[in-house]
Structure 1
Amino acid sequence: MKRITVVRAARHSLRRQLDVPGRLRGGLLFGACRDGSLEVMLATPMGYPWWYSDPSDALLGLDERYVLGWSDCVETLHGGKVDWVGNWLAYPDSSLGDVRQDLTWLYLGAEHGLIDGRHVLLMIGWDDGALAARAYTYDFGDWNQLACDFLPSRSSGSSDVSL
């Protein structure tokens, strides 16, 4: 897998999450691999903010009941064609942040079995007023940064990553 594509509905959900700065936020990504590209169709929050108090809980504080509920719902709606494909994180100030910070979260997620060669970490944030993202996998001790695209909205003819 070399590329990740975030479809319009997932992009809209991620943008809404960035409108609420102040703490590290994270959530689940659901999608499918198609032609060597990971297509993210749904981005959910991690749950209610009061469910976790430690910043690392934004990535690691998965409430199993919440995750299973989303997984069951996605399974029902998409007939097994869409699955959990990774997690997303946004920094407290909603900026894209620095790659070195991203790698700290990547290694932590990999240690806990959340990030691997098939499950990504998608870091999201504003970059010069536009939604931007970096995506990573971690496989056999090596991290890999993936090209990240957002599908354009129907009213736009552009396919820029920045929205």
Structure 2
Amino acid sequence: MKSSITYRRGGSTGPAGVRIRRAVARDAKRLTRLVTTSRAYDGPYAPMVQGYRVGPDYIETHQVFVAVGADDRVLGFYSLVVSPPELDLMFVGDDAQGLGIGRLLVGHLLDEARRAGLSEVRVVSHPPAEGFYRSVGAERTGTVPASPPAVMWDRPELTLPIESP
């Protein structure tokens, strides 16, 4: 069993009491709720997450990590696919945005990718999130065309380089 860790990348401190741990099957409903209630997917973006589900089977077969507060409330999560290397999901709760949770998750992702021997991780970004990914070191490499009916818009494709320790 993997233990929880308090993540402090490069000596910086995250929000007080926030720790990152491996997701477990019982987190599925909370992660699904983060995805389906995200204000980032209001309006024209809503079809992409409508009916979306993060199931216990997904959590058990993928590298899914959650950021939790001192009260064990899920603040955000990400999922790393190792082969081929890609950030599959990353969400931060609406009420936790602007607190450094996303940067904390990306720092953890970089360490996990490094441990897996990856040199880069592909990110297909929600268009409004491109600026965030670029601010944490991702570089734009192209555009993924729309794929109706769920995704009606082109999405930025980026690469997050994994530096050696």
Normalised TM-score (structure 1): 0.33
Higher helix share: 2
Higher strand share: 1
Q: Which has the higher contact order (CA 8 A, sep 6+)?
A: 1
